[in-house]
A and B are shown apart, each in its own frame.
Chain A
Amino acid sequence: MLSGALRCVRPTIHTIALSRQLAHFRPQMEAGGNRPVETAIRTKLTQAFQPEHMEVLNESHMHAVPPGSESHFRVLVVSTQFEGQSLLQRHRMVNEALREELSTCVHALAIQAKTPQQWGSNPSLAKSPPCLGGSKHDSTVAEKLKAGRD
């Protein structure tokens, strides 16, 4: 039981230590609430789906990346365009709309794609699972974060 607790705490300690170390590398986008990637995602999803409802959440703070990152997102899109489409097709449509972001700075994208009817009968946003620290020593994530800043 104690070792289990320690296992949970250890990654958190690492994340805090990493955050402290990288705090002074805070990306400039933080200044004045500038969130270019989030803005781009909102714009593209709106253009592609004319959604009745949409939520775009930057979940980067839940992961082992520096503060102010725009690397991990959760999106919820409610649109009539999903009617008659399988889950896979819907997710592919969302991926396609965000192709550029996904090939550059966005490392993870959690998607909920619902029809207005589905949203009406269950208006809830799913929660992302807890991070297990995979991004910490991941050089490709570091590259993507840099791509987001440049």
Chain B
Amino acid sequence: MNSIIRSTARCLRAGNTLYRSNQVNGHLSFVSVRLCSSDAIQKNLGEMVKKDKVVVFMKGTPAQPMCGFSNAVVQILRMHGVDEYTSYNVLEDQDIRQGVKTFSNWPTIPQVFFNGEFVGGCDILLQMHQNGDLVDELQKLGIRSALLDAEKESK
């Protein structure tokens, strides 16, 4: 037990996940001290959400969404001509899946970030699209919504 506490403390100081051999009941076992890796994940998420102007945590990928709500986010962005963005498939990484919920204090997926700032999930993006706010927010990112061009053409 003491060795686990010591290794945890060392881990917290180092801020890394470490693997440590332990002797438990006469058997050698490798113990992955994952207690501190959640801090590392939160730190990583802080960088991940800033990686691009638009970052989406979703189920599946933009090419193949695995959830109706995630798909709705992809489709809304596509309607505005936003096809190039960074997306993370939370189904492939449970640490990221749980970590992003802690990071943004938001309980569900999908999650949308603009310039590293949490915007909301599917419902919020849909309402922003419906009330015209999304066009404005994209403009602030330096992205011209395709809907503006579509409007122009119809006039």
A residues with a Cβ closer than 8 A to B are: 87-88, 91-92, 95, 99, 102-103, 107-112, 126, 128-135, 138, 140
Q: Which residues of A have CB within 8 Å of B68?
A: 128-132
Knowing A88-B119, A91-B120 are in contact, say whether A108-B66 is a contact too (CB < 8 A).
Answer: no
CA distance A95 to B107 in the complex (A): 7
- Our pick among B69, B91, B119 for the contact of A108 (Cβ within 8 Å) is B69
Contact in complex: A134, B107 (CB < 8 Å) = no
Known: A132-B66, A140-B94. Contact between A109 and B108, CB under 8 A? yes
Q: Is the CB of B67 within 8 A of A132?
A: yes
Residue in B70, B94, B122 whose CB lies within 8 Å of A134: B70
Q: How distant is B91 from chain A, measured CB to nearest CB, in Å?
A: 7
Chain A residue with the shortest CB-CB distance to B131: A87
For residue B126, CB closer than 8 A to chain A, the reply is yes
For chain A, what secondary structure do more than half of its interface residues adopt (helix, strand, loop), or is it mixed? mixed
Contacts of A131 in B (CB 8 A): 67-68
Query: For residues 7 through 26 of chain B, which have their beta carbon under 8 Å from a beta carbon of chain A?
Result: none
**Count of B residues near A, CB < 8 Å?**
27
Known contacts A88-B120, A126-B126, A140-B94: A132-B60 contact under CB 8 Å: yes
Q: Across the interface, which residues of A come within 8 angstroms of B146, CB to CB?
A: none
Is B147 positioned at the interface, with any CB of A under 8 Å from its CB? no
Quote the shortest CB–CB distance from B105 to chain A (angstroms): 8
* B30: interface (CB < 8 Å): no
Determine the distance from Cα of A109 to Cα of B126 in the docked complex, in whole angstroms: 14
Contact with A along B118-129 (1 / 0, CB 8 A): 111111101110
CB contact under 8 A between A110 and B123, given known A102-B107, A134-B60: yes
Q: Are A129 and B71 in contact (CB under 8 A)?
A: yes
Please state if B72 and A95 are interface contacts (CB–CB under 8 Å): no
B93-127 vs A, CB cutoff 8 Å, 1 = contact: the mask equals 01001000000011110000000001111111011
User: Is B80 located at the chain interface by the 8 A CB criterion?
Assistant: no
CB of B65 within 8 A of CB of A132, answer yes
Q: Can you add 14 more A-B contacts, CB < 8 Å, to A91-B123, A126-B123, A130-B68? A: A87-B120, A87-B128, A88-B124, A91-B124, A102-B107, A107-B108, A109-B108, A110-B69, A131-B68, A132-B65, A134-B60, A134-B66, A134-B91, A135-B67
